[in-house]
Amino acid sequence: MLVRMDTDTFTGLGATELAELVRTGRVAVADVVRSHLDVIARRDPELHAFEEVYAEQAMLEAAALDGRADLAALPLAGVPLAIKANMRPDDELVRRMRAAGCVVVGRTLMPELAAWGFTSSERFGPTRNPHDTALDPGGSSGGSAVAVATGMAALALGTDGGGSLRIPAAYTGVVGVKPTAGAVPLPGGLAEHWCGLTVAGPMARTVGDARAALEVLTGKPQSSTRRDPLRIAVSLRSPSPIGRPDAHQRAAVARAAQLLRGLGHEVRDESPPYPATLLNRWQRRWWAGIAEEADRLGLGTGELEARTATMVGKGRRVLRRGLKEAEATSWRAAVAEWFSGVDVLVTPAVARGPIRAGAYDGVGYLRTYLMGARSHPYCQAWNLAGTPALVVAMGSADGLPLAVQLAGPADSEPRLLAVAATLEAAAAHGAD
């Protein structure tokens, strides 16, 4: 029997809860989707998370799903999904989510060419953090994070070439998962993006919802059956000499370590063998990737923001000289060796809180880059390594979310998700 719920009830539920209600025939997909579209209409004029809303098409898709005889077999039946502006509704990763029952409600905003750890651009202006609208939500998947955090979508997809899923997850209090390189199809059918740095992944309000989305995206189970005490390394060491974590981020890591010790894991202070040139190695691929992206999209430097044009010039010089593949290969080998003695690494997700919304509009490349190096230096290492990492909320301070990053060796997503779920549950129950 169909159950009538008000809009806030629907949008307060997680993706897996909504899917269960739809699969069992207790709610209609059309009601679920309409409720999320109502939230978009009410909240997005202020928050500016969406580049485009597919209201009419989403309701048509919802009606079609309600008429399907196999609705009970769809793992994400009726779940409203937001996709990032660098994705198309017919991309393979989006197709997989729709085949599982998701309804795409719109495309979310990002900075130009998804280049930055904030979400603002000359063309679209700033996206705002729902916890404090004077602040930025992080980026580049900032619109996706805001959509999930506010109930405008139950799930979202984003991309991550240097933290673009994890940074906004940390600043908005949601879960962001960067999978192992190659585990999830890239937008546009590309074989690689940003010279191998970029992956696509899900954003969700809970670890369980993120796991369900990742299972659909990868086509593989993401539940860990391992029960032994894990070897967990905890590190505050920053790969950037100017990106030191502030007191709030240190406290979030300390709390995570305390919770994990209390759960019986072997927790020790130990840092990965970050080389002094690590961020420079990542940066060269980032520049080259931006140059390749501009060329692929047919964008001349005169059509780009000044700082993006600067990056394109730098990237073209890197491409002419050739990428030093040994730089990435040696780091990947060092990561694999280090993780042979460590199951999970816990670090800060970011080094400091979010900037003011639009604070870097019109600012040149160097100042913008230095802001990023100071604010979020903990993510790029795992893009260069091609290994998975995720961000999970860890309380709050001064009204803003806090989070930690979990990283692991290649294909360790099930383990990372399991640890994140225990942290999520322990934090929710106020465990010490």
The pair phi, psi for residue 287, each rounded to 5°, is: -60, -50
Find the helix packing angle between 207-218 and 92-99, rounded to 10°: 110
Is 84 a catalytic site residue? Answer: yes
Find the helix packing angle between 207-218 and 413-428, rounded to 10°: 160
Non-local CB neighbours of 332 within 8 Å, separated by 6+ positions? 384, 385, 386
Residue-level length of the chain: 432
d(CA 355, CA 431): 31
User: Which residues face 81 on adjacent strands?
Assistant: 104, 155
- The alpha carbon dihedral of 133, 138, 142, 147 has a sign of negative
DSSP reduced 3-state for 367: helix
**Catalytic one of 35, 120, 121, 140:** 140
Structure tokens at 26: 């207790």
Give the pairing of strands 344-348 and 400-407.
antiparallel
SS (H, E, C) 94-117: HHHHHHCCCEEEEEECCCHHHCCC
Is 164 a catalytic site residue? Answer: yes
Non-local CB neighbours of 118 within 8 Å, separated by 6+ positions? 111, 136, 137, 138, 139, 140, 142, 354, 355, 359, 360
**Catalytic one of 120, 164, 238, 375:** 164
d(CA 23, CA 15): 12
Is 223 a catalytic site residue? Answer: no
> Is 59 buried (19+), middle (13-18) or exposed (0-12) by CB count in 10 A?
middle
The pair phi, psi for residue 106, each rounded to 5°, is: 165, 175
Region at 387 (left for phi over 0; alpha for psi -120 to 50; beta for the rest):
beta
Give the pairing of strands 400-407 and 231-234.
unpaired
CB 342 within 8 A of CB 230: no
Provide the b/e sequence for 315-338 (b: ≥16 CB within 10 Å): bbebbeeeeeeebbeebbebbeeb
d(CA 169, CA 250): 17
Active site residues: 84, 140, 164
